[in-house]
Amino acid sequence: METKRIQNEELAHTVQAFAAYLTSKGRKSSTIKRYVYDIENYVAWLEKNQKVSSNNIWANLRTQDYENYFFDLKENRHYSEKTMHRVLIVLNRLYQFLQMANPGLANPIKDMELVIQPDRALRPEDFITAAEEQRLKSVLISLDGLSEKQLPARPLLIDRNVCILMLLLDYGLSLQELVSLNMQHVHFENNTLTIPPVSGIVRTITLTEEDKKKLYTYYKTIPEPVRPAYHTNDPLFVAFDFNRNTYRWVYENDAPKALTEIAVQKMIRQEVARAGLRKGISGQHFRNTFILRLIQSGVSEPEIMKRVGFKTKLSLKRYYDYAKNNPL
């Protein structure tokens, strides 16, 4: 696996070896890409802060280096507690891998004083407001704030981006579920989508007639030569090539290239910035808002679990606690 963002040879070799190890253990390619992305982010931060001037880099890193990094993620990049916890797990597993070859290597992450709680109580900033929703949806269909380079591609992306926000906010899909959708999951004939059990349980959601039309319009905007074939494993959401202003095609697979979680997150960040909204709004904010609105609308607990794909009632506790403490 390539590590184009890493300049230091020792660090690049470590990441490549770790990716190969995960592959040998049967981890999904999407999981490995996520791990590599998180590690590359940390390495890029190290290189920017001049922490990689010596050999045997991993042995020379200290707990303070990691505390400074997670502080930066929280205060400057506005990562959520859940995302920071995921990064923490990835870096810990990297050290476990390194210790297989060097049992004497210490893991400085274990001594961090920074506490990361992925299941902390929900706060108002974990949701989006009706005003933020309205602003974001209006910006998605506008050309405000686009560069000359971005303008030519926008007509091909508006419908795609509208559908992505629609499924995250109005139907409560997770990012992982969204990018896992393929054309076998799409049923235009009866307005339904089958949601694969990638982060929850398999379920079927029913789209409104208007939302089905939005999804179909996006589908038809993709030029026919690179359009996903109906009733196949082709991805529903396709990656875009901004250099050629067309959707990407993987010739090895003879199929469109699937949009990734990272690409969706980047799109959301860009659109949030274009809308002038607060930093840090993510796909999780949309899913949180969807769940809270169901509770506030009096939808039953079993029905909410069914709609969002939760496996246990425990997953809903934080949302009910928030709704109780923050009545309408």
- The tokens for 291 are 């769940």
Gap between the Cα atoms of 142 and 130, Å rounded: 19
Mean pLDDT for the stretch of residues 270-297: 93
Which of the listed residues 86, 111, 136 is the one where a domain comes to its end?
Answer: 111
Q: Look at residue 218 in the predicted model and tell me its pLDDT.
A: 94
The answer on pLDDT for 111 being more than 70 is: yes
The answer on 308 and 224 residing in a single domain is yes
More confident residue, 137 or 83: 137
Confidence of residue 116 (pLDDT cuts 50, 70, 90): low
Q: Which of 49, 79, 111 is at the close of a domain?
A: 111
DSSP-assigned states of every residue in 159-179: HHHHHHHIIIIIS---HHHHH
Q: Percentage of the chain with pLDDT > 90?
A: 47
Same domain, 297 and 159: yes
Residues 6+ away with beta carbon under 8 Å from 285: 126, 127, 128
Q: Which residues pair with 204 in a beta bridge?
A: 194
Domain residues for the domain of 86 are 9-111
pLDDT in tens, 219-236: 999 989 999 999 999 999
Pull the structure tokens for residue 295: 């509770």
Same domain, 150 and 233: yes
Residue 313 gets which letter from DSSP?
Answer: G
Total domains in the fold of the chain: 2
- Read off the CATH number of the domain in which 80 is found: 1.10.150
- Reply yes or no on whether the pLDDT at 78 is more than 90: no
Q: What is the pLDDT of residues 24-49, one digit of tens each?
A: 988 888 888 889 889 988 888 887 87
Judgement on whether residues 104 and 227 belong to the same structural domain of the protein: no
Q: What is the pLDDT of residue 1?
A: 47
Where in 134-226 does DSSP place strands (E)?
A: 186-187, 192-195, 203-206
> Which CATH number belongs to the domain containing residue 216 in this structure?
1.10.443.10
Mean pLDDT, residues 267-283 taken together: 91
Give the pLDDT mean for 248-272: 89
pLDDT number for residue 117: 64
- Together in a domain, 148 and 199: yes
Looking at the structure, do residues 313 and 221 belong to the same domain, yes or no?
yes
